[in-house]
Amino acid sequence: MGGRKKVSSALVSVYHKDRLDGIARRLHELGITIFATGGTQDFIEGIGIPVTPVENLTDYPSILGGRVKTLHPKIFGGILSRRENPSDVTELLEFKIPEIDLVIVDLYPFEATLASGASDAEVIEKIDIGGISLIRAAAKNFKDVLIIPSVSQYAFLETVLFENDAYTSLEERKRMAAHAFSISSSYDSAIFNYFNEEVALNVFNVGYKERTQLRYGENPHQKGFFYGKLSECLSQIHGKELSYNNILDVDAAINLISDFKEPCISILKHNNACGVASGDSLLENWNKALAADPVSAFGGVVISNQELTIELAAELNKIFFEICIAPSYTDEALGILKQKKNRIILKLLSTSFGQRQFRTALNGVLAQDKDLMIDSEENLKTVTKSSPSIVEMKDLLFAMKIAKHTKSNTIVLAKDSCMLASGTGQTSRVDALNQAIEKAKKFGFDLKGAVMASDAFFPFPDCVEIAHSAGIRAVIQPGGSVKDQESVDYCDRNGMTMVMTGIRHFRH
C-alpha cells in the first residue's frame, strides 16, 4: 500500500462523545497535537488530556451561539494544504497555519431531531455547517489527511491508533474519504427532503447511510445490496443471513399483516399470500391459513401479529418454512423454532417504513405514494338491491385487505375470516378467478356462501357469472367500468350482493 503517512495533529469536533475518551488518550500517548472545539474540548480536558482550543489557533472566539467555530482559513488551510506543493507550504509558513493530518467529526443529529417531533426551530439548529465543511475538506485532501466522518468509523480509527501507531496508507485514506462523502450526501439529502416537503421541487433525492452486500440478487448471477438499516425494523434472532428474495418476502409479509388489527397469521410465497386467517385463536388461525394451500406454504414465510407461543411453534415446526416473523416469542417457542439451524427467526420492531415507494424504470426512477388505504365499511357503497350480512361484510373487507397486497390481476376468495384461495398475477381477471376456484376445490373447500374480492373493476359481467356458479354470495370491487351496471344487474337477478369501494388496488 502506497502513500503511507503518520498523523501528527488532529482536529476533533464531535456531537456524541461515546468512545472518545480512549481515542483522545491514545492520541496523547502518540504525541499527536489535539485541536478541539467547545464541548469536545471540555470533554477531552475533563479526562486530563491537554487540548489546543481552536480559538487559540484562529484568534477568534466561537460566535453566534456556537454557529461559527471552525469556519476560518487557519483551520481549513491546515486541512486543505497540499503537503508536496511548495506554494502551499510557503503560505502555511507565512500565515502561521499548522498542518492538520486527522479530522474527527460527528455531525449534529439532524434526522434524529426531526424524527423526535421537535419544532422547526430546533430542527434547523441541528443542520450542521462547520462539521459538514470539515468532512468535505478533509475528504477532498485524502492524499494527506485522514477523515473520520462519524462514530461508525471509530473502529477503523482505533485500529490505526492502537495497532498501526497512527500510520495510514493512501488506500485507507481514500476509503475513509468515500465514507465521508457518503455521509455528507445522506445528510444533505435528509435536509433537502425536509425542506422539500413544503417547497415540492421536482427533484428526486434519496440518501441511505448504510449498504449491506447480500449473498446475491434475485438470482445467483446477479449482485445484490440492501441500502438502509434493517436493525431499525427487524431483529434477527436466529438463522442464516437474509437474502435479496428473503427481504422482498419479509417486506410483503409485514405490509400485509400491518393492515390487520385483530390477531392474524399469514403465509406468503413469492410476495403473495397463500394462506391468511384471522380470529381470536392463533393456533386456529395457523391451521386455517395452512389449509388454504399447504403445498405453496412449503419453504414460505410465516408472519403473526401476536406473540408466538410454544403451542403454535410446535405446529409450525411440523413443516419446512424459511422465515418466521412475530413481534415477540416465548422462550419455549424459540427453543422449538431454533431446532432448524438455517431457519430465519425475526422479531418485528417497527412497521413504519415511510410513505413513498421507488423502483427503477427505463433510464430513471419511478416514485409513488404507498397504497396505505385500508377499505372500511364507511367507504363502501352497496350497489345491489340486497345488502351484505354482518358476517359477509366482515369477510368482504378481510378479502380486500389480501387482494390489496396480491399481484394483479387478482381475485381473493374468503369465508369466515379465512382466505380460501386466490388467483394471482394473471393477465385476465377471468383467469384469476378460475385459478382461485380451481385451487379452492383442489384443497377441498366448499365455496357456497364465500365472498369474492377483486383488486380492480370487472370489465364485463363474466366474473360475477362464474362466481355465482361456484356458490359465491357476495362481491367487493372498486367499480369504475362502463359496464358496471351489467355486473350489478346479474347480481340482482341471482340473489347476490355487491359493494364498491371506489378505490383500486393494482399491484404490478
In order, the DSSP letters of 409-445 are S-EEEESSSBEEEEE-S-SSHHHHHHHHHHHHHHTT-
How many residues are given for the chain? 508
Region label for 412, one of left (φ > 0), alpha (ψ between -120 and 50) or beta (otherwise):
beta
Are 49 and 35 a contacting pair, CB within 8 Å? no
Q: Which helix (H) or strand (E) holds 288?
A: helix 282-292
> With contact defined as beta carbons under 8 Å apart, do 355 and 369 qualify?
yes
122: which residues sit within 8 A by CB, 6+ positions away? 113
CA count, 13 A, side-chain hemisphere, 232: 9
Angstrom CA distances, 34 to 13, 75, 367, stand at 11, 13, 47
Q: Is 140 among the residues known to form the active site?
A: yes
Grid coordinates representing 292 are 388454504
d(CA 430, CA 402): 18
| Calpha distance 132→462 (Å, rounded) | 63
Q: Can you list the alpha helix ranges (DSSP code H) found in 119-213? A: 120-125, 130-140, 154-163, 170-199
From the candidates 17, 28, 140, 338, which is the catalytic residue?
Answer: 140
- In 3D space, the residue among 452, 459, 456, 436 whose CA is nearest the CA of residue 501 turns out to be 456
| DSSP 3-state of 325 | strand
3-state DSSP call for residue 53? strand
Catalytic residue among 28, 270, 340, 347: 270
> What positions carry a catalytic annotation?
140, 270
